[in-house]
Amino acid sequence: MMIERHTLLGICLACTTALVGATTVFGQAPSAYDAPLPRPRARAPAAAEATVRESTDAPVKASHKELIETRPKIGAMPVASERVSRGGARPLPIEGKWQNVVTTFEPDCGPRDMRDFSPQAGMTGELYDEYKGVNDRWWVELDYLRWRARGYDVPALVTQSPVGTAPANAGRLPGAEVLFGDESLAGDWRNGGRARLGWWAVDGQFVGYQAEYFGLEGQSNDFNAASTSAGPLLARPFFNSALGIEDASLLSGPGLTIDLGQGPFTYDVDGAINISTSSDIHSFALTRRHVLWTDFERNIRTDWLFGYRYFRLDEGINITDVVALNNPSGGIVAPGTLIRRIDEFDTTNDFHGGELGLSGEIHRGRWSMEMLGKLAVGNTEQSVNVRGNTAINPGGVVGFVPSPGLGGFLAQPDLNIGRQVRNAFTLMPEAEMAVAYQVNDYVSFHLGANVVYANRVARPGNQIDPNVNPTLFPPAPAPSGPGTPESKFDQTYLLLYGFNAGMEVRW
């Protein structure tokens, strides 16, 4: 069946009329493009505009403070800062609300990082108050140190027996009196100093770099003893490894038998001995500091540290004895001839290593307490140098002439004289605790305690072998027995501890 043309046109017109009616009923909004243009707003005077800005800013500040006081914490990590813009410290509103973000302080902060991590970025508390007000990028710390080192042990080196003691028994242990040795050396309290220079790479003291040096004054000891042939018998004790008994080399006494390679002759002997020791300690470090955790409400801050550490321990012992041979019973030795023997034991320890640690601060008003712990791991180059020689001054008037091929007494050629070097893996932990008082924004004073430990160092007392085989001494007409003194390369540990007092200046 066919629909006529006028009938089809009537149906289309009816559908169009129905659609227009439905649009009117459901209230369809007009297009934005059809909206009328807004009326221009009259510009307010400058004074009025400032008044309006102040009135609009006041509620923002109030709500911001309110937010800080009630901000939530995630675990132990506080919300230390709100999201900040690059151009300033004001939080950015997101959908009409302040968006809180846990601040992790961005580990990649550096001199080129232009983001604002200043304390004004929504932080509160005494720790925040200390940081605000000055742009304290630099700091220097100067300390007076009063430290003590664990000493090293030495065997008995000088003994004395009363007048009348038979030369065969004089100076021998355990009966003789020990004048020097059988004790610990280089263990007295020392004065020293420490300097630290640092620079914060970003505002707010979040990333910093520090150089440090500390040194202790060189500690030296001198011992002197002398006696004549008519006085007490002065001696150097040793264990005679050829005979397996305690023995002594006499430095004074009447009618002593001495063999200078021309046969045994007797002399009245006057003698003297000097022992000097030295000990020097120095250290240098470069450290990078980075904030790890901070709570500006509880006024607690923790930094992690890593860097480089150099440490040097340089020590030595020098033993020199001189005897005068008088009233010779024969031979060609001129009366008053002097014989000098020298033994030297020197050790050097140079440590290079990486260092990792933590530093914590607790602030209460102007007072604060800092605790620091570090561990350096690296290599120590240990060096042991043993020297010995004998020199003769004929008649005591022409000066000492070295005797080729002769060692000293405890240092002998082809046995222990020479230099040895080795590398040792070393751990060097350090701990420090200090209490400080903040005078103003720039100056503070502090008092603290320190401990430094090194598990492997070589020290001179450990290199001395008291076992001596006198049959091996030149000219050694009938050598026998073990080859002593032996070359030793013993190591031990070092412990430093003490107190420090000083000041810190920031600018």
Q: Beta strand pairing status for 418-438 and 138-149?
A: unpaired
Q: Do 485 and 414 contact (CB within 8 A), yes or no?
A: no
Q: Is 461 part of a structural domain of the chain?
A: yes
Say what the pTM is: 0.74
DSSP characters for 349-385? EEEEEEEEEEEEEEEETTEEEEEEEEEEEEEEEEEEE
Could you tell me the pLDDT band of residue 192, with boundaries at 50, 70 and 90?
very high
Q: What is the mean pLDDT of residues 399-412?
A: 92
Distances (CA, A) of 245 to 111, 161, 172, 238: 72, 18, 10, 9
- In tens, the pLDDT along 323-339 reads 999 998 877 788 899 99
Q: Which residue has better confidence, 32 or 492?
A: 492
Q: Rounded to an integer, what distance in angstroms lies between the CA atom of residue 124 and that of residue 75?
A: 19
DSSP reduced 3-state for 79: coil
Q: Rounded to an integer, what distance in angstroms lies between the CA atom of residue 469 and that of residue 465?
A: 11
Q: What is the mean pLDDT of residues 209-236?
A: 96
Asked if pLDDT for residue 97 goes beyond 80, the answer is no
DSSP characters for 183-204? EEES-SEEEEEEEEEEEESSTT
**Residue 427 maps to which CATH number?**
2.40.128.90
The string over 196-217, giving b where at least 16 C-beta atoms fall within 10 Å of a residue's C-beta and e elsewhere, is: bebebbbbbbbbbebebebbbe
Q: Given this model, what pLDDT does residue 138 score?
A: 92
Q: What is the mean pLDDT of residues 77-103?
A: 33
Instruction: Determine the straight-line distance between the first and last CA of the chain, rounded to whole angstroms.
Output: 102
Q: Do 329 and 259 contact (CB within 8 A), yes or no?
A: no
Q: What are phi and psi of 144, to 5 degrees?
A: -95, 130
Quick one: 67 exposed, middle or buried, by C-beta within 10 A (0-12, 13-18, 19+)? middle
Q: Is 122 part of a structural domain of the chain?
A: no
Instruction: Print the domain residue range for 372.
Output: 134-506
| Encoded tokens for 120 | 């004004």
Q: What is the mean pLDDT of residues 117-129?
A: 47
Could you tell me the pLDDT band of residue 459, with boundaries at 50, 70 and 90?
very high
Q: Given this model, what pLDDT does residue 258 score?
A: 83
Lowest mean pLDDT among 5-9, 357-361, 362-366: 5-9
Alpha-carbon torsion angle 394, 396, 400, 402, nearest 10: 30
Asked if pLDDT for residue 58 goes beyond 80, the answer is no
Of 353, 348, 372, nearest in space to 428 by CA: 353
Q: What is the identity of the amino acid at 124? A: T
Q: Is 92 part of a structural domain of the chain?
A: no
Q: Do 264 and 258 contact (CB within 8 A), yes or no?
A: yes
Q: Is 460 part of a structural domain of the chain?
A: yes
Q: What is the mean pLDDT of residues 479-504?
A: 94
Q: Rounded to an integer, what distance in angstroms lies between the CA atom of residue 264 and that of residue 507?
A: 78
Q: Rounded to an integer, what distance in angstroms lies between the CA atom of residue 280 and that of residue 101?
A: 52
Q: Is 49 part of a structural domain of the chain?
A: no
Q: Is 175 part of a structural domain of the chain?
A: yes
Q: Which residue has better confidence, 480 or 424?
A: 424
Number of domains in the chain: 1
Q: Beta strand pairing status for 467-468 and 233-240?
A: parallel
Alpha-carbon torsion angle 239, 314, 151, 489, nearest 10: -40
Q: Is 151 part of a structural domain of the chain?
A: yes
Q: Is 350 part of a structural domain of the chain?
A: yes
Q: Beta strand pairing status for 418-438 and 367-393?
A: antiparallel
Asked if pLDDT for residue 106 goes beyond 50, the answer is no
Q: Given this model, what pLDDT does residue 447 score?
A: 98
DSSP characters for 444-468? EEEEEEEEEEEEEE--GGGG---EE
Q: Do 221 and 185 contact (CB within 8 A), yes or no?
A: yes
